[in-house]
Amino acid sequence: MDDTTLLMIPGPTTVPKRVLDAMSQPIVNHRGAEYGEILGETTAMMSDVFQTDNPSYLLTGSGTSAMEAAIANIVEKGDKVINVVGGKFGQRLQQLTEVYGGESIEITVPWGHAVDPAEVKRVVEENDDAKALTLVHNESSTAVVNPIKEVGEIMKDYDTLFVVDTVSSLAGDNVKVQDYGLDICLTGSQKCIAAPPGMAAITVNDDAWNVIEKTNSPRYYLDLLKMKKSGEKQPAQTPYTPNVSMTYAMKEALTMVLEEGLDARIKRHHVGAEATRAAAQALGLELFANEGDYSNTLTAIKMPEGVTDDQLRGTMRNKYNIELAGGQDHLKGNVFRIGHMGLTGLFELSATFTCLEMTLKEFGFEFETGAGVAALEEVYLKN
């Protein structure tokens, strides 16, 4: 490794040189045939990764811009929307619902837990006039994965749209948009896809288009109907000037996803997650998330007594050049989070746990030296 900081945060993740190099290609005319071809190839790969036959659209913006696109295009004043809220990103979809005048029916989930599909069924049954249900697949603030397949099965019986945020899971965990019945699904570039931040993607099915066409909320830059219309042009276009360089990056990153194979990549993420949990527990650390609800793309670990967030993450950063994530909102100082998404795997996790062991030793923690890395090896050996 060179002297670059090792990014072990839940996105942006380390971007491979192939993808960074793709961005240094010269800019082409964004209304020309060459760009249209690149855009078409990239959105087709995007749909492959979403596992849907429906088209996908690229947004020049962060994941939040796609979250806002999902809400602004379906919610108008007075619309009832069921928001599953069990972390910061569930909250964000609720805030967006309210910004656009929607009435939020909240399914409150304790931070660290996944939503219970039976509870979703109960609330959807009770509110079958709700326009949409929003769910964050992988809640990166709590390192929890929500059961989108099971919830999708339930939602098939209702007209309520199922809107799923897969910003921190797509290409790292199972997201079968069509099979699971996700009506709108969105993601970001900088997580499991391992491109730089700055682009988001969204896919929409016919049920959702029917609602979108009738929705009058103010939107312009994030207008999905305009994206659809521009996407259907020959050559394919975006309604407003796209980030051309990021389109190159997404094309290269998605090519790498499909070269690795979606299933193989997801399996690799699952192994990395299991290894991370095993290593942390071998050092006597406690996981934040409820057992069984563990995310496959990042892990939240309770800050052990006897060390502060500044000491632990500060030492990892300043002494070892490894960037871990802290807790968000009320979890600030109480947990730290390790991202194992994108291209992050055995090499990066072994370096991280080696240095985490050394950091913990420095602050007087007692465990058998090498125990974390040994546990990591065990998981990788049996997979």
Binding site for its own copies (CB under 8 A): 4-5, 7, 9, 11-15, 17, 20-21, 23-30, 32, 34, 60-65, 68, 72, 95-96, 99-101, 188, 190, 196-199, 217-222, 239-246, 249, 323
**Nearest approach, Cβ of 60 to its own copies (angstroms)?**
5
Q: Tell me the backbone φ, ψ of residue 205, rounded to 5 degrees.
A: -100, 180
CB of 122 to its own copies, least distance (A): 29
Q: Which is nearer to its own copies, 241 or 308 (CB)?
A: 241
In the bound state with its own copies, the residue whose beta carbon lies nearer, of 163 and 262, is 163
Per-position DSSP letters for 334-354, written without gaps between them? TEEEEE--TT--HHHHHHHHH
Residue 300 CB, nearest approach to its own copies (Å): 16
Burial, 203: exposed, middle or buried (Cβ in 10 Å; 0-12, 13-18, 19+)? buried
Q: Is the peptide bond before 147 cis (omega within 30 degrees of 0)?
A: no
Residue number, 78 or 292, with CB nearest to its own copies? 78
Instruction: Report the greatest alpha carbon distance in the chain.
Output: 64
Q: Which tokens sit at 350?
A: 């072994």
What distance in Å separates the CA atoms of residue 340 and residue 322, rounded to the nearest whole number?
13
| Nearer CB in complex with its own copies: 25/308 | 25
CB of 19 to its own copies, least distance (A): 9
**Enclosing H/E stretch for 275:** helix 262-282
- For the chain, helix (H) and strand (E) counts, in that order, are 14, 14
Q: Cβ closer to its own copies: 54 or 245? A: 245
Task: Please say which residue, 25 or 369, places its beta carbon nearer to its own copies.
Answer: 25
CA pair distance 143, 354, nearest whole angstrom = 22
**What's the closest the beta carbon of residue 25 comes to its own copies, in angstroms?**
8
Shortest reach from residue 237's CB to its own copies, in Å? 12
- Between 305 and 318, name the residue whose CB sits nearer to its own copies: 318
Helix, coil or strand: residue 132:
strand
Other C-beta atoms within 10 Å of 207: how many?
Answer: 15
Asked whether the beta carbons of 301 and 365 are under 8 A apart, the reply is: no
Taking the complex as a whole, how short is the minimal distance between the CB of residue 165 and its own copies, in angstroms? 13
Q: What are the tokens at 9?
A: 């945060």
Task: Give one DSSP letter per residue of 150-175, joined into a string.
Answer: HHHHHHTTSSSEEEEE-TTTBTTB--
